[in-house]
Structures are given as structure tokens and as C-alpha cells.
Structure 1
Amino acid sequence: MSARFFKKHNNAISWLALTIIAVLVASCVKPLYEPNKEAKRVTAQLVQTAHDHGNILSDNSLEGYDLNLFPIIYRNIQDQYVYEVDGQALLLAAIDGVQAHAADDGSMDRDTFDEVATQSMLASLDDYSTYMNAKAYRSFMEQTRGAYAGLGIQISNHEKGLLVVSPFEGSPADQVGILPGDVITHADGKSLADLSMQESINLLRGRVGTSVVVTVEREKSESFNASIRRDIIELNPVRYEVEGEVGYIRISNFSEGVGNMVTDAINDIERQVGEDKLYGYVLDLRKNPGGLLTEAVSVSSAFLSQKLVVSTRERDGENSFDAGYGEVADGKPVVVLIDEGSASASEIVAGALQDHERAALLGQATFGKGSVQSVFPLYEGGVKLTTALYFTPSGRTVNGGIQPQYTVSDNPDEDGDEQLIAAYRLVVELAGGPNLNWTLGSEGQ
């Protein structure tokens, strides 16, 4: 598929084949509606336009003009996309896409035409609505269930190649020092600048145990090469420990079961420390790009009881999601660590706890993504479509990011985790404890 086509029409789509979920995904996989008369009519117009231009379809006859993807996705955009969309605008986006592809790579067969037209139409909507072929869809679904193969990075497109939104904690990319904001410009010496997102991903993929050498540009640094060994990424989304009578809970993504894991962590921390001695909790959501909406609500429920966590606004109405009965943190002080890598589901949890004055946020402003995507399976592959916007309990959108009450930057040139140390101290202060000179690993003394 044309590199320039995807660079032009799919600039900001965050493909997920190498990463955990970079968007907030609705809790269920939804069925697609069959094409209606309008969808079939628009499809016929699309194919007629390709026929009239003469250089778009390799088989330029009008026989068998029915396409598999385009009419189905067109119908579902019209019925389920978060905003009403002009059908003519969708058609023009598809025509523009196939013409650009034909200008770059020449005529195409019907299947390629169908996919290019569909991707062009979806790319005209927003940065997160996209078609996933069978391989990409399988990888996406594996990620929501806690394991996948790859380098362990969340990526987005960039004019020079691939932008690293966040490396997954403990992943091969994380182990070699890849950081948020890095730009991968080459893979094994091949420039990614003129490649599509999918073509770039294909260069980074490979058999488990093999390596790829990536060239990385980093702000205020010279570019460098890093060899990353491909591996199966086992997602262990929750880890916890006790530090100086403060419970530390790290959530790296919101895959299935995270809410129950957090509840178990809280119960075990309380057992280790004792309810009377426990000051409170640090909830670390830094570099957490999101995941499942249901898990964001479940995690919030561990700290809130029967209170609104998030509301979503769809085309035909609103939905609200409340915390369950009986929080398990027993009202102990909570400090939530956030940064520019905290997105979607992380922002829901942080926003809910902040709005209900249940937690203090410390760190840096979050990524700022306020939309929900639903996943629709196809006979091969699937579609991710933006179907709702979400809002915190006070009615705030997180577009532009959630601001912490306590802004603390983490200087990579300094030893230790300054944000985490500040969070521990704040938990003790909020609990009315002594003014400790906290040093990690010294039991808070």
C-alpha cells in the first residue's frame, strides 16, 4: 500500500500491533450493521468514479462492484460514530484516498481498492478510528487479554518515522532505554520517513529472539542506535509493595482483571502493615496509556463507593458509570502519580478521584484524550470506531490533559525517583504523620 497515501491520510492513527492499548476501549465488542440502500448507493458512486478515471482499478469493469469493507463501514459510521457525518464528505475522502494511491502506485485490485477507500474514509474522522486487518486485529485483542508479541512500545505516527508515546514497563524497548518522546527514524538502517505506519511496523516485527537495530532521535540529544531483542510481552499490569508503611500500587495498563488485582493488592498491603499503622497509598499511573473502560471503573471502585466515576456521551444519549459498593481502601489517603504518558483509562481514574477529592494528583499533566472507541469484528480483521466522548464526574473533558494539584517534574539526570519520593511524603502528610525525610529503601526514615 502506498507510503505517501498513509502519510497523507492516516497521520495520527496509533496502530497497536507493537503496543498495549493506546485508547479507551468500550467494554464490549459490538456487531456491525449490514449495508443499507444508502451505503450501497454510495459504494456504487465510488466504483463508478474509479471506472471513470480509468487508472484506479486494474479490472476497470463495473461488474461485481460490490465491496466487502466500504459499504459496511460507511453504514456504521453513519449510525454509530460519535458525531453525525455528511455522507458526501465520506465519499470524497474515499475518492481522494484511492486517487492518491493510484497516483503513487498505479492501479489496484478490488480488495486493495476496498481497503484503501475504507481507511481513507475512517482517517477523515479522527486520529483513533481505523480498520485493522486480520493480523493487527488479532494482536489488538491479545493486548486486551494481557499478552502479545513485539518490542513493547506504544507508538504514533511522526513525519520522521514513529513517535514513542510510552515504552511498556520492563519490555525489551524499556530495557534498552527507549523513552516517551523518542522518535524511531530507521529500522536496520532503513528510513521510516516515507513508509506507512503498517510498513514501519512490519520492519520492527520479526521472530521472537531476533533483534532489530533502531535509530532514535531524542530531544536535546544526538541520534543513536539501539538493538532491541524481539520477545513475547507478558503483561503483568499490577505490581505492589510496601515502603515505610505506605502501600505502593503500580498499574501499567488497564487490561482484563486489573480491578480485581488492585483490590487484592490493597487487601494484602493492609495485611502486611496493619490497618492501624498504614498511612495510605500511592497509585502510580505514569506511562499508563489506558485500556478497558470497565477496568477503569473497577479500579476507581476500590477507592470510591457508589459515586459517579465517568459519564459518556454518544450520538443518541448519555451513559454513566458508578463505583461499586464498599471501597476497600477504607478512606486512607491516596496520592495518584500521573505524567504525560498517562492517557484515557488512566485519566478516568485520576479525574474521578480528583473530582471527588478522594486523592491528590502529583506529577505532570496527563496526555489528554477524551474519546471512547468501540471495536467491531469483521469476517477478517476489525474496525475501531470512536463512538463516545467521556467526562469526569464534574463534567470536565480531559482533552488537553488533567492537571495535578502538585506539579513535580522528574529529572532524569538525578538519582532516584523524585516524583515517587514526593508522593510518599505527601501520603504521610495527608495522614497526619511525621514530617519524614524520605529516602527510598530506608523504610521512610
Structure 2
Amino acid sequence: MIRFEFPPSFLWGAASSSFQIEGAAEEGGRGPSIWDAAARDYPERFWNGHSPQTAADFYHHFVEDIKGMKELGLTSFRLSLSWSRIIPQGLGEINEAGLIFYDQVINELLAAGIEPFVDLYHWDLPQALSDNGGFKNPQIVTDFARYAEICFKRFGDRVKRWSTMNEPSVMAFASYRDGVYPPFETDMESALLAAHHMILMHYEAVRMYRSLGLTGEIGAVIAVVPVYPHTHSPNDRAAAQRQFDFVCGWWLQPMLEGSYPASVLECPEVGALMPAAFRQQLLQSFEPMDMIGLNYYSPARCAYDPAAFLQATDVRNFYAQSDYGFLTYPQGFYDILVYVKEKYNNPKVYITENGIGQDTVNQETERLLQDDERISYVREHLRELSRAIRQGCNVHGYYHWSYLDDYEATSGYRYRFGLVHVDFLTQSRAFKRSWYYYQSVITERAVD
């Protein structure tokens, strides 16, 4: 019998982010984030005008939710801190009430035997900093370093796993190039400038952490997409590599090695728009990290097209598609982990997100609770993860996205990714069938 097992020390987790679950947007001294302001000012950009003002109300329900996590058997929980809850204007006065809230959450997790994995930043920039140029303003590097120092000094005695930021690729390109997330800009040069500042922010936060002598580990969380060539032709293979280097390597390589991928810099639509002195800044600022978090949802497939960006164009993959629109391809999970192992000298890895969303349109609550498609998704992806570990990939934990149904950016409350169903009108919780399945996986340290 084939048995897909996991090491005894493997961390079993679930993930979240502050603006997607906390709610209480105007309580406890919290200032507005870019999502609060965007949902208020541009409701037409959000499904049914949904706002993150209440989300899953974790702010008031965290004791109940952590009790459920303990019952599930989680050994770790990934959460992010709200910059605007800790420093309402992004810089200036510190909000002690915000620090106390996170003290309480961290202490509750530890009392339940659950290790916190903390992201300093998960997309929710204080609106005051966005008004001052956001990630395009080089001052953001200094502001982030101060914020990081405050968090490290307050929580670093108890939090031993840190990420500087979550999915900077989305923060930079979806927000500044594609115009789909706040601040809804559509300028490639601005996106590259913002992206470069994010790398420098990461370096400074890692350096700050080390300077304080804290005894934990720190890295960043990167979205990874295995990119397959349409054919075996040299042009298609080179196009697929360029696409991967831009989507994923643009972050992995500077964070792990201190440089941007040459294959992308050689393309004039990128290289000609890069910030001045970027090479010197990387060289002077590079700070290696201890581990990397990888978020995996979907693969991609590319063909050579001389008229396309990076001379690479997406080709349709005929894989199953989730309600959310992600292509479901479990083998891609294995492929990307083996690639990272071989390309980047097998760094220490945590799988920080992996999950599937259900569309609530025309779906009854009972149907959402009997989420067999999520069980199948988890089973097949964990099988591939087990295979990758047996292949020597240095993976130490898995965090399902997400523990609770949450607020999913411009999709609002339409899609549900949680193991726990949340009634957003009453804030009542109910365990889904997948919650019980994941509990059995954790108990057995193996997947069927």
C-alpha cells in the first residue's frame, strides 16, 4: 500500500491575514488601510460593494477560533499584523491598544500549543502612507523598518517564525501595473519602482531582526507558479523560463541571492524602466534570509510570441478549474518544489498557502459545509507534497488557506476558502467536512 507520510516535526497549520479576517476596522484605535478606503471610495470595484469592515470578526472571536484550531490539531497558525492597527498613520504615534490585541492573540495561541507564524505585511498598507506615494516613495523603506522594529521588540520573545511580506508580486504588479488592486495604477515603471522598494524593505527588516539578537527565523512569502513550455522548441522553453523569472524569480532570486534574473533585465520593456542604481542598491543592501514561504495554487503554460510582453504568451491549460478561477494541477506542486530545490540550493521552505475557493452564488449553506471538492484538493496536493519531501525538498510545514471563510480582496465575501464556515451576518462558525478531514490527516501525519 502506498502511504503518503510526513516527518514527526512537520508543522500543520492554517493561514490568514489581518484585513481579511479581523474586522473591527474602526475599533481599538486602528487607522484605515488601503482596502478600507478603496471599498469606501470605489464600491463598484468590489463584488456587491463588499467592504472588509467586519470580515470574519476575528478581533472579537479569536478566543473561540483558537479553541477550534486546538481541537483541529494545528501546531502552527499563520497570521499577519495590521500596520494601521499598530501605527494608525503608518508612521508617528504607536497605538498601544493594537499591540495589546496582538499580545492577546499570540498568548492565546501559545497557551493552546500553537506556534504563531507572523507576517509583518499582507497587502494592507495604511492609507496615510499610500497618500504619500505608497511603495513608489523610497521613504517606505525607512517607515517599514521602524514598523518592523516595533513588532520585533514587542512580540519577538514569543514569535519565532516571521515573514517580512506576503506575495509582493501581487502588491507590485496587480496594484501598480494591472490596476486591479489599490491604488489601481496602470504604469509599468511605477510597478517596477514599487517592486524594487519592496525588496529593499525586506532586506532592511531582515537586517533589523538580526540586529536585535532574536532567536527565531525570518524570510518572506512568495507566490509560485510552475510555468511549462507549450512545446519543446527552444523558443517556447526560453519564453516559459522568462515568464517564470518575472512572476516568481523576480522575488526568489533577489531574496535568496541578491540579484534580479538576467533573462528579464535583458528585455527592454523591463530593463529600460528599472530604477536608477538598482544593482548597487541590491549589492549594498542584500541580507540573506533563513527560510522562504511558498504559496501554490495554479500552474501556467507559455509559448513564444515576439509581439508579447517578454516575448511570452499564456496558452490555455485544459485542467480542472476551481470556482475562483484557479487551475487545479496537484503535480505542479511537486514540480515547483523540486525546481526551487534544484535552482536555489534547497532552501528551507514552508508551504504558507494552498487551498480552493467555493462560489457562494446559488449555493446553500449545507452544500458549502459538505465541501468534498476541498477534501479532494487537499488530499491530492498533500500527496504531491509528501512525494516532494521524499525527493529531498526541504519543506517543514503546510498552512492551508484559509482557516476561516474570509474577505477575498475585490471578490469580497463571494468565495469561501475556509475550513470553517462563517455566517457573515451573525458571525457564527461551523466546521466544514474538510475541517474533519484535515484533522484526520494531522492525527495520522499522513494522507490517504
Q: Is this a same-fold pair by TM over 0.5?
A: no
Q: Relative to total residues, which structure has the larger helix share, 1 or 2? A: 2
User: Highest CA radius of gyration, 1 or 2?
Assistant: 1
TM-score normalised per structure 1: 0.31
